[in-house]
């Protein structure tokens, strides 16, 4: 048996650019990988055919989760795959906007490819990942990337994250991704759509003479860290708006929802590292699930 650890990601901003003819949304986001919270996946080869998935907690549709889809996608690309039994232990909250299911799928794809007699090339492996979900190709790289299209266009970022601190709050709220996008489309029809201006950050400000992400005037400066989906999600989940407001009140230089929610993140500049620790303590005192994570250049 082998044990795989699947980390998660946060969206340091998410811009909804439009809807394609096939119904998928064109996005522009900055993905940053985190080692925790994480899932664990125990894999055992059975000598038979196919995949059997079991979960430490009850699975939603165990016959059609991201692991079964990843296994099927790999088998299609590779012409087959070994029979396996997989036992999943969830640590990444479901419906949190952290990409847990996609991370699980990518971890399985990478393992299958490593033990394959004729491994897939990067393009074929990325196709298999995209067949599972829009976030899955990112987890094959697992480094900070600008993510565009429906998740298939990945550009490693050159931003310097060292010295920044992330406070991540994971409330016990499940936000359905399909519902969030449908609600956004209803509120902002394509013919009228302008990027939803949600005031997700404080007014632009500099930290030690540079932007929050270091020197340079790229598209992801501090005042661009907004998540368009907040305009759709917050009215139905005011608790999430309150968490964002708490993070800003406690000293975050920027705050936004990750993905389609429900996790809320606060970014603290190099000069505000002490405030980040204080914010994490204050939020934990309210019985919230909180992670305090220093950022670096690789994301891990």
The set of catalytic residues is 9, 135
Taking the C-alpha atoms of residue 136 and residue 129, their distance in angstroms, rounded to an integer, is 5
Taking the C-alpha atoms of residue 114 and residue 110, their distance in angstroms, rounded to an integer, is 6
15 contacts 229 by C-beta, under 8 angstroms: no
What Cα–Cα distance (Å) separates residue 208 from each residue in 17, 190, 211, 248, 251? 32, 40, 8, 19, 16
52: left (phi over 0), alpha (psi -120 to 50) or beta: beta
What Cα–Cα distance (Å) separates residue 148 from each residue in 131, 135, 151, 175? 16, 11, 6, 22
3-state secondary structure of 275: helix
Q: For the chain, what is the total number of helices (H) and then of strands (E)?
A: 8, 10
Whether the upstream peptide bond of residue 136 has omega within 30° of 0, thus cis, is no
Question: In what helix (H) or strand (E) does residue 122 lie, and over which residues does it extend?
Answer: helix 122-132
What Cα–Cα distance (Å) separates residue 43 from each residue in 21, 39, 49, 197? 39, 13, 14, 45
Q: Which residues contact 55 (CB under 8 A, 6 or more apart)?
A: 62, 87, 88, 89, 90
């Amino acid at each position: 048996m082998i044990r795989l650890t699947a980390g998660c990601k946060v969206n340091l901003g998410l811009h909804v650019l439009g809807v394609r003819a096939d119904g998928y949304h064109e996005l522009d986001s900055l993905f940053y990988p985190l080692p925790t919270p994480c899932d664990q996946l125990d894999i055992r080869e059975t000598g038979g055919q196919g995949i059997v998935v079991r979960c430490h907690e009850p699975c939603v549709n165990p016959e059609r989760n991201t692991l079964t889809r990843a296994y099927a996608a790999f088998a299609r690309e590779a012409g087959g795959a070994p029979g396996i039994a997989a036992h999943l232990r969830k640590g990444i909250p479901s419906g949190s906007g952290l990409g847990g299911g996609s991370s699980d799928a990518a971890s399985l794809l990478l393992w299958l490819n490593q033990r394959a007699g004729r491994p897939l090339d990067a393009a074929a492996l990325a196709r298999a990942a995209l067949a599972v979900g829009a976030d899955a190709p990112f987890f094959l790289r697992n480094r900070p990337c600008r993510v565009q299209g429906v998740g298939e266009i990945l550009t490693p970022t050159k931003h310097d994250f060292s010295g920044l601190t992330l406070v991540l709050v994971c409330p016990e709220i499940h936000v359905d991704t399909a519902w969030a996008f449908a609600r956004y489309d209803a509120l902002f029809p394509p013919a009228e759509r302008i990027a939803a201006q949600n005031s997700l950050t404080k007014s632009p400000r500099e930290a030690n003479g540079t932007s929050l992400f270091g020197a340079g005037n790229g598209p992801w400066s501090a005042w661009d860290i907004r998540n368009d989906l907040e305009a759709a999600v917050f009215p139905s989940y005011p608790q999430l708006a309150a968490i964002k407001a708490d993070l800003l009140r406690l000293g975050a230089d920027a705050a936004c929802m990750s993905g389609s929610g429900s996790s809320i993140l606060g970014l603290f500049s190099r000069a505000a590292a002490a405030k980040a620790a204080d914010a994490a303590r204050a939020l934990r005192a309210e019985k919230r699930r909180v992670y305090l994570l220093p950022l670096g250049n690789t994301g891990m």
